[in-house]
């Protein structure tokens, strides 16, 4: 019949074609529409953003530095994305996913008809290839650790061109969060260098733009050493707005390099950059003075996920040359009441006032108020009390000399040094305040600001220090991202590294709870387990939490849809939706 009337056949096929096109469009609108509540913008403009250091590479597999990651985030996309505002996962390259009842198998359905920024189509082979690369031990990708669950790497299998199955060796709570920021690589561009073992060195900054492609909203255009990196709009980007207009709105993003934070502020003030991330409280108050006269807006997003803390050297394996004094100090540090007394003596309100100029939050637990999903609100916030600290110390046999000096039970004056990074003025300030606080208790604390790498070296390698101030900032709100800090075998278990087995019963309990929550699938149960971990930490105080700085960002007033978020990156996470209001967009020469 078809052969007999070709016209009909053509008509039918056109019809089908139209139908499928229509269906495809309808589908793309329903699937790809950006989050509700965003304004519909218009095309054009160039966004200028400053970076505090030059990116080292554009290779998503090997990049570790902040600047590289910030640029790469604009060039690439992931399968499942954590929405920076809601903190929940949402579909990205995968339009949906299913979890098997035992929690071991994730089936991801990919979006149809997507193209890389060079026009090459995307399918399941790219996904399989990407995960093969990330999991390759010879490539040493920083993402690999995350993708190894229960000592076994995740297994990836292609079912059909648009279906991929991931298999875990043990149940893993919130496994969908693992996919966030694992950039999908173009197999057609990178397979060759992977096979010849050159992938780790591929996609350096000197790579011609045509050889770099991703699924992100922008693509690489130009790199001028020492000055800037320019990205241009990816015409094949897969997100559209409510009016079915293909995103992103911006034509270009221009990342330029500045030597330090001060230069960044000055350039922002001068109008050279449109967005400024991570402003310090000092610079914020400086910019605030000009806010009314200038054309920018400043945002104080409230507490961040960063927690700054004081901790004592509780390492069981101490350096061989440690003196008798050092051994005496370890005896003090190991007494939980000593740590509690120190915590009680610290004036956290003064830290937020003087160090963060009121733009910070005092902390009694490492989970900051920014993490509203997981914070244990039952943890007490005791006020500074020298009396309380004194009675705690007294009950452990400490006493005071005539002149107020604190003596330990054997009559040795209590003194120790606090090391901090000299380049971090805020932590040095905290140390100076704590020094004065502890002096009220009769403790002689010396502050030693030193180069950041020597601080890390002393804490992580030689264990040659007495007390230190550090800050940590989780990449995600989920407790899994902090496993390496709380597990006694973790690489960032700062106070006691390299324990073969937990040296105290409470550390053993934390280990147990953290392992248990990892495979618990019911969110309420996980929350209860993590609450208990926080309660143990607040009671035993292996780290004495001090304060969390607020997230402070600034933006040009005419940038639309700007929605800074708590999770990193705070500002450009919704770059496809950003647009310039009015005629001013792209006025930067």
**Which residues in this chain contact other proteins in the complex, by CB under 8 A?**
261-262, 265-266, 281-283, 285-286, 347, 350, 353-354, 357-358, 417, 419, 422, 425, 428-429, 432-433, 435-436, 439, 446-451, 454, 465-466
Question: Least CB distance from residue 448 to other proteins, whole Å?
Answer: 5
What is the Cβ-side half-sphere exposure of residue 328, based on CA atoms within 13 angstroms?
13
User: Residue 305 Cβ, how far from other proteins at the closest point, in Å?
Assistant: 23
Give whichever of 432 and 503 is closer to other proteins, judged by the CB atom: 432
- The minimum distance between CB 354 and other proteins, in angstroms, equals 5
Q: Judged by CB, which is closer to other proteins: 131, or 356?
A: 356
**Beta bridge pairs of residue 230:** 222, 254
Q: In the complex, what is the shortest distance from the CB of residue 347 to other proteins, in angstroms, rounded to a whole number?
A: 7
Neighbours of 1 (CB within 10 A): 6
Nearer to other proteins, 232 or 408 (CB): 408
Spatial CB neighbours of 447, under 8 Å, sequence gap ≥ 6:
417, 418, 420, 428, 431, 432, 435
Is residue 423 exposed (0-12), middle (13-18) or buried (19+ Cβ within 10 Å)?
middle
3-state secondary structure of 521: coil
> How far apart are CB 328 and other proteins at their closest, in Å?
13
Q: Closest distance between other proteins and the C-beta of residue 321, in Å?
A: 11
Which CB sits closer to other proteins, 228 or 357?
Answer: 357
Going through 435-586 in order, the beta strands assigned E by DSSP cover 444-450, 467-473, 543-556, 559-560, 579-580
Beta carbon nearer to other proteins, 89 or 420: 420
- Residue placing its CB nearer to other proteins in the complex, 432 or 512: 432
Give me the least distance between CB of 286 and other proteins, in Å please.
4
Minimum distance of other proteins from residue 202's CB (angstroms): 37
Contact 192, 203 (CB under 8 A): no
Q: How far apart are CA 247 and CA 235, in angstroms?
A: 8
Q: For other proteins, give the closer residue by CB, 66 or 450.
A: 450
378: helix, strand or coil: coil
Please tell me the distance from the alpha carbon of residue 79 to that of residue 114, in angstroms, as a whole number: 12
State how far the Cα of 224 lies from the Cα of 575, in Å rounded to an integer: 22
What is the closest distance, in whole angstroms, from the C-beta atom of residue 499 to other proteins in the complex?
A: 24
At closest approach, how far in Å is the CB of 96 from other proteins? Answer: 47
Nearer to other proteins, 118 or 464 (CB): 464
**Least distance in Å: CB of 170 to other proteins?**
44
Which residues, at least 6 apart from 543, have a Cβ–Cβ distance to it below 8 Å?
Answer: 309, 310, 311, 366, 494, 495, 537
CA distances from 409 to 199, 315, 403, 543 (A): 60, 22, 17, 24
Nearer residue to other proteins within complex by CB, 297 or 337: 297
Q: Are 502 and 542 in contact (CB under 8 A)?
A: no
| CB closer to other proteins out of 283 and 568 | 283
How many other C-beta atoms are found inside a 10 Å radius of the C-beta of residue 390?
A: 19
348, 427 in Cβ contact below 8 A? Answer: no
Contact in structure between 295 and 556 (CB atoms under 8 Å):
yes
Whichever of 139 and 389 has its CB closer to other proteins, that residue is 389
Rg of the Cα atoms in the chain: 27
Q: Return the bridge partners of 406, or none.
A: 400
């Amino acid at each position: 019949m078809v052969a007999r009337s070709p016209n009909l056949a053509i008509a039918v096929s056109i019809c089908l074609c139209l139908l499928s096109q229509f269906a495809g469009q309808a589908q793309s609108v329903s699937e790809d529409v950006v989050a509700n509540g965003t304004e519909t913008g218009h095309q054009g403009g160039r966004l200028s953003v400053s970076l505090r250091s030059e990116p080292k590479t554009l290779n998503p597999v090997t990049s570790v530095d902040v600047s590289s990651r910030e640029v790469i985030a604009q060039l690439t996309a992931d399968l499942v994305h954590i929405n920076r505002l809601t903190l929940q996962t949402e579909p990205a390259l995968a339009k949906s996913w299913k979890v098997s009842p035992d929690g071991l198998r994730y089936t991801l359905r990919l979006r149809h008809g997507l193209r890389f920024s060079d026009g090459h189509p995307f399918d399941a082979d790219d996904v399989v290839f990407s995960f093969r690369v990330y999991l390759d031990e010879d490539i040493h990708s920083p993402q690999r650790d995350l993708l190894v669950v229960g000592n076994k790497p995740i297994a990836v299998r292609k079912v059909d061109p648009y279906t991929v199955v991931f298999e875990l060796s043990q149940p893993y709570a919130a496994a969908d969060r693992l996919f966030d920021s694992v950039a999908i690589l173009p197999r057609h561009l990178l397979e060759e260098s992977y096979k010849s073992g050159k992938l780790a060195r591929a996609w350096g900054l000197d790579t011609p733009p045509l050889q770099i492609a991703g699924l992100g909203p922008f693509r690489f255009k130009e790199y001028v050493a020492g000055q800037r990196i320019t990205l241009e709009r990816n015409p094949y980007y897969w997100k559209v707005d409510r009016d079915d207009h293909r995103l992103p709105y911006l034509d270009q993003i221009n990342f330029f390099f500045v030597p330090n934070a001060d230069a960044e502020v000055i350039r922002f003030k001068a109008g050279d950059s449109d967005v400024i991330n991570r402003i310090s409280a000092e610079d914020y108050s400086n910019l605030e003075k000009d806010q009314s006269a200038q054309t920018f807006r400043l945002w104080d997003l409230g507490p961040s996920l960063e927690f700054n803390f004081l901790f004592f050297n509780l390492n069981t394996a101490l350096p061989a040359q440690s003196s008798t004094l050092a051994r005496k100090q370890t005896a003090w540090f190991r007494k939980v009441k000593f740590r509690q007394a120190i915590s009680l003596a610290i004036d956290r309100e003064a830290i937020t006032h003087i160090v963060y100029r009121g733009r910070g939050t005092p902390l009694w637990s490492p989970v900051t108020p920014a993490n509203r999903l997981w914070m244990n609100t039952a943890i007490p916030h005791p006020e500074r009390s020298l009396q309380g600290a004194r009675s705690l110390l007294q009950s452990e046999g400490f006493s005071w000399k005539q002149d107020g000096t604190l003596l330990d039970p054997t009559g040795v004056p209590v003194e120790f040094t606090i090391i901090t990074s000299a380049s971090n003025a805020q932590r040095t300030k905290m140390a100076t305040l704590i020094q004065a606080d502890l002096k009220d208790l009769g403790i002689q604390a010396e502050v030693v600001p030193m180069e950041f790498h020597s601080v890390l070296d002393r804490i992580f390698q030689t264990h040659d220090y007495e007390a230190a101030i550090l800050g940590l900032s989780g990449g995600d709100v989920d407790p899994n991202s902090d496993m390496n800090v709380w597990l006694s075998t973790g690489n960032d278990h700062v106070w006691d590294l390299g324990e073969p087995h937990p040296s105290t019963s409470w550390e053993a309990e934390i280990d147990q709870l953290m392992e248990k929550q990892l495979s618990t699938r019911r969110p309420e149960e996980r929350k209860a387990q993590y609450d208990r971990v926080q309660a143990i930490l607040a009671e035993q105080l292996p780290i004495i939490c001090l304060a969390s700085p607020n997230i402070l960002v600034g933006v040009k007033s005419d940038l639309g849809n700007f929605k800074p978020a708590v999770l990193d990156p705070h500002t450009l996470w919704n770059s496809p939706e950003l647009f310039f209001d009015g005629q001013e967009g792209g006025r930067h020469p």
